């Protein structure tokens, strides 16, 4: 009977050692899993911070783009208005040039007529002087 006790005592002792190894491995695995989880959470937090920063940058950029689009639209409208005004002024300028051209023709005709009248009057005065008047 003594031997049976010995067998009984050895087997649980071996089982306790195996159990301790399992517990140690489980503790080690648990610690590694916790570290991995912690690392992942840390990376996730860092990524979240980067994403939030990126989101703010994108939103700010979007606002700036909208402001710039409004400014571009305003400048385009001003540019269009300016081109329209230039077209109107070009038309007015062409009409003025036509009128000035006609006036120049009339002026030239009037100067020629004035010159002829002047020459005619000079001849009359000269003839009157010659005839003794």
Tens of pLDDT, residue by residue over 21-48, are 888 999 999 999 999 999 999 999 999 9
1: pLDDT strictly greater than 50: no
14: pLDDT strictly greater than 80: no
**3-state secondary structure labels for all residues of the chain:** CHHHHHHHHHHHHHHHHHHHHHHHHHHHHHHHHHHHHHHHHHHHHHHHHHHHHHHHHHHHHHHHHHHHHHHHHHHHHHHHHHHHHHHHHHHHHHHHHHHHHHHHHHHHHHHHHHHHHHHHHHHHHHHHHHCCC
> Distance (Å, rounded) from C-alpha 57 to C-alpha 45?
18
> Distance (Å, rounded) from C-alpha 10 to C-alpha 22?
18
pLDDT of 63-83, one tens digit each? Answer: 999 999 999 999 999 999 999
pLDDT of 15-28, one tens digit each? Answer: 678 888 888 999 99
């Amino acid at each position: 009977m003594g031997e049976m006790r010995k067998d009984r005592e050895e087997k649980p002792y071996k089982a306790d050692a195996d159990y301790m190894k399992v517990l140690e491995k489980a503790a080690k695995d648990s610690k590694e899993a916790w570290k991995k989880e912690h690392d992942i959470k840390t990376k996730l937090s860092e990524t979240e911070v980067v994403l939030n920063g990126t989101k703010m940058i994108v939103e700010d950029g979007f606002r700036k783009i909208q402001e710039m689009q409004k400014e571009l639209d305003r400048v385009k409208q001003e540019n269009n208005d300016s081109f329209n005004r230039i077209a109107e002024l070009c038309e007015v300028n062409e009409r003025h040039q036509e009128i000035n051209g006609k006036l120049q023709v009339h002026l030239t005709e009037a100067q020629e007529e004035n010159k002829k009248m002047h020459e005619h009057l000079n001849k009359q005065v000269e003839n009157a002087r010659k005839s003794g008047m």
